[in-house]
Amino acid sequence: MTLLTGIIYPVLVSAIAYMVFPFKSQGSLIERNGIIIGSELIGQFSDNPKYFWARPSVINYNPLPSGASNLGPLNPVLIERTRKQENDFIQINSTPEGSVIPGEMITASASGLDPHITPEGALLQVNRIVIARGMNMKEKNKIIGLINNMTEERQFSLFGEPRINVFLLNLKLDSLK
């Protein structure tokens, strides 16, 4: 039984998965100029103003091991951290007065590796990126178009939430000329 369920079964699954889904079963790894620059599914830390930033992460996007804050809603540590996060986000992106900061941009995810943010969270970062990259109005509209293009709707219009993959968005942003 150990041999069957512990060795044969996982090896068989690996073989089939490798043949049918060679990209996804191997970690959805993405290469650029011959170097692996990340996985489509794993979020990355960024403090570079030229890029879109992912959500706050308790583990700072270091996947060994994954994890979350596990702080309860009344915990002063969480409240203080979230307030700081909100202020930082408003300041760094110089968001327009009165704009609502989406919940995911000020809170840490469950895995600490969440690759997605909401489209609203991405749109609020556009001004900062435009300034950092010294872009003009036409290029800014291109970025906004990119966000609209890259937004993944609910799967089969049913499951999950509308979202955008920050890593893939940044790759597209780099190839935007």
3-state secondary structure 17-85: HHHHCCCHHHCCEEEECCEEEEECCCCCCCCCCCCCCCCCCCCCCCCCCCCCCCCCCCCHHHHHHHHHH
Q: 2 or 136, CB closer to another protein?
A: 2
Tell me how far apart the alpha carbons of residues 113 and 14 are, in angstroms, rounded to a whole number. Answer: 24
Shortest distance, CB of residue 81 to another protein, whole angstroms?
9
Q: 60 or 136, CB closer to another protein?
A: 60
Q: 29 or 141, CB closer to another protein?
A: 29
Shortest distance, CB of residue 157 to another protein, whole angstroms?
11
Q: 140 or 172, CB closer to another protein?
A: 172
Shortest distance, CB of residue 137 to another protein, whole angstroms?
25
Q: 20 or 137, CB closer to another protein?
A: 20
Phi and psi angles of residue 7, each rounded to the nearest 5 degrees, phi first:
-120, -60
Shortest distance, CB of residue 100 to another protein, whole angstroms?
9
Tell me how far apart the alpha carbons of residues 43 and 13 are, in angstroms, rounded to a whole number. Answer: 26
Tell me how far apart the alpha carbons of residues 63 and 58 are, in angstroms, rounded to a whole number. Answer: 11
Shortest distance, CB of residue 138 to another protein, whole angstroms?
24
